[in-house]
Structure 1
Amino acid sequence: MISKMEHVAIIVKDMDRSIQFYSEIFGFKVRLRGSNPNREMAFIYLESQPDMEIELIRDIKFLGEYSENGIVNHLAFTVTNIDEEIRYLKEKEIEFSSDDVKPTLEGGRMILFRGPDEELLQLVERMK
Structure 2
Amino acid sequence: MIKKMEHIAIIVTDMDHTIQYYSDMFGFKVRLRGSSKTREMAFLYLEEQPSIEIELIQDFEPIGKYNKSGIVNHLAFTVEDINIAINHYQKKGIKFPSPQPQLTLEGGRMILFYGPNGELLQLVERAID
SS of the residue 1:62 aligns to: coil
How many residue pairs get aligned? The number is: 73
State the Cα distance separating 1:68 from its structure 2 match. Answer: 2.5
Q: For the aligned residues, what is the CA RMSD?
A: 2.0
Quick check: which one's strand share is greater?
Answer: 1
SS of the residue 2:32 aligns to: strand
The alpha-carbon distance between structure 1 residues 8 and 72, as it changes in their structure 2 partners (threshold 3 A), is: farther
User: Which has more radius of gyration?
Assistant: 2
SS of the residue 2:66 aligns to: helix
State the Cα distance separating 1:70 from its structure 2 match. Answer: 4.7
- Other-structure match for 1:68: 66
| Equivalences for residues 1-128 of structure 1 within 5 A | 1-64=1-64, 68-70=66-68, 72=70
Which structure 2 residue ranges, 5 or more long, are not aligned? Answer: 73-129
Return structure 1 stretches of 4+ with deviation > 2 angstroms. 67-74
Q: Which has the higher contact order (CA 8 A, sep 6+)?
A: 1
The alpha-carbon distance between structure 1 residues 57 and 26, as it changes in their structure 2 partners (threshold 3 A), is: same
State the Cα distance separating 1:61 from its structure 2 match. Answer: 1.7
Identity of aligned residues (%): 62
Any idea what the Cα deviations from partners look like across 1:58-99, whole Å, max 9, x if unmatched?
Answer: 1112223xx53556556xxxxxxxxxxxxxxxxxxxxxxxxx
Matched residue type, 2:47: E
SS of the residue 2:37 aligns to: coil
Matched residue type, 1:59: D
Which structure 1 residue ranges, 5 or more long, are not aligned? Answer: 75-128
The alpha-carbon distance between structure 1 residues 53 and 71, as it changes in their structure 2 partners (threshold 3 A), is: farther
Q: How far apart in 2 are the matches of 1:61 and 1:33?
A: 18
